Amino acid sequence: MSGKTSIREEMLAAVPKLRAFAISLSGNVDRADDLVQETLLKALANIDSFKPGTNMPAWLFTILRNLFISEYRKRKREVEDGEGHYAASLVSPPEQIGKLELQEFRTALVKLPPEQREALILIGASGFSYEETAKICGCAVGTIKSRVNRARTHLAAILSVDSADYLATGTSTQAIAAGNRR
C-alpha cells in the first residue's frame, strides 16, 4: 500500500463534511460539488505540502475556503443571484418537519457576508474549534469570535424581519424547547 493511497482514502473520508460546508457556504449544490472537486484536485497537486499525521480535514477546508472566497470576489453578482436557486438544486429534499424553516434559514444564511458565513458554519456546523477556524480562515481567533457573533446577530435580524412568526411558531423552536426541558 502506498502512502499516496492512504492519503487519498483520508481525503475521500473528508468529502461528506467538505460538501456540507461547501453547500452551506455557497447555497448551491452544483457549485458546491464543483468546489469540492476543485479542492480535491488542488490538494492532490499540492500533496507534498501536506504533512502526514496532521489534520487532513482542516487542510482541505482551508483549500476549499480559499477557492470559494476568491471565486466569490470574482463573481460577486452571480453569487448574490444564487440565493433563490438553492431549493431547485437540492439533491435530497429536507425532511417534511421544519422544511419551510430550513429553507428560510438557508436563504437567510446566504445573505450574510461570506466572512461571517464561513465562520458561523465552521464553528456551528462543521465542528471546528475557534483556533482551527482561525487557521482555516487565515485570521486571529478574536476575529473569528466577533465574526461568529455578528453572524448570529445578523441572521437573527434577517429571520425575524423576513418572517415574524418564524421563531414564535416554528416547529423546530418547540422541539428544541421541549428537548431543553428534559
Partner 1 sequence: MNDRKHPKSPEGPPPRRPKGPALDPQIQRVIGQQLRRMHDEVVKEGIPDRFAELLKRLDKRDR
Binding partner 1 (rule: CB under 8 A), the pick from 68, 110, 134, 170 is 170
User: Which residues make Cβ contacts (< 8 Å) with residue 163, sequence separation at least 6?
Assistant: 104
Which residue type sits at 69? Answer: I
State which of positions 81-100 bind partner 1 (CB under 8 A).
91-92, 94, 98
Number of residues interacting with partner 1: please give it, by CB under 8 A: 49
Distance (Å, rounded) from C-alpha 63 to C-alpha 93? 28
**Span near partner 1 by CB under 8 A; candidates 3-11, 50-58, 71-79, 131-139:** 3-11
Please tell me whether residue 102 binds partner 1 under the rule CB under 8 A: yes
State which of positions 9-28 bind partner 1 (CB under 8 A).
11-12, 15-17, 19-21, 23-24
Please tell me whether residue 5 binds partner 1 under the rule CB under 8 A: yes
State which of positions 120-159 bind partner 1 (CB under 8 A).
120-121, 124-126, 149, 152-153, 155-157, 159
Distance (Å, rounded) from C-alpha 105 to C-alpha 41? 31
Locus of grid cell 437567510: 108
Please tell me whether residue 8 binds partner 1 under the rule CB under 8 A: yes
DSSP per-residue letters across 33-96: HHHHHHHHHHHHHTGGGS-TTS-HHHHHHHHHHHHHHHHHHHTHHHHHHGGGGHHHH-SSPPPS
Q: Sign of the C-alpha dihedral, residues 85, 118, 20, 68?
A: positive
Residues interacting with partner 1, by CB under 8 A? 2, 4-5, 8, 11-12, 15-17, 19-21, 23-24, 33, 36-37, 40-41, 44, 91-92, 94, 98, 101-102, 105-106, 109, 120-121, 124-126, 149, 152-153, 155-157, 159-160, 167, 170, 172-173, 176-177, 180
